[in-house]
Amino acid sequence: MRQGTLFPTTERRYEGLAHDEEEVQHEGLAAPGVHFDESGVRVGKKLHGLPVTRTDRVTYDRIYDKRGEEAMTAAGILRHYLGTVLQDG
């Protein structure tokens, strides 16, 4: 496959995923109970945060260069959520 063919395909898929990500975030905010957790993941040699938001239907996660509260805040769901928060701590 030529590079000129691959780039437009990748760009279209990225745009489609952005829409999916927004739907998952909205579903998480609408759920009556959501599990929030944060783990660490190495990117190169640096430890990054991996906050996870999970309902019975969807899971949302994204890697951030910070950990803990900073990563959970950057994920943007927890601060807007008004339902029951579940955690394993």
| 3-class DSSP assignment, residue 24 | helix
Residue corresponding to tokens 């969807």: 58
Per-residue pLDDT, 48: 92
Q: For residues 29 and 58, is the Cβ–Cβ distance under 8 A?
A: no
Q: What percent of the chain has pLDDT over 70?
A: 67
Which residue, among 60, 53, 13, has the nearest Cα to 35 in the 3D structure? 53
Per-residue pLDDT, 14: 60
Per-residue pLDDT, 61: 83
Q: What is the mean pLDDT of the chain?
A: 76
Which residue, among 53, 7, 63, has the nearest Cα to 27 in the 3D structure? 53
> pLDDT per residue over 41-81, tens digit each?
999 999 999 888 888 888 888 888 888 878 877 777 677 77
With 0.85 as the threshold, say if the pTM is over it.
Answer: no
- Per DSSP, helices labelled H in the chain are 3-30, 69-75
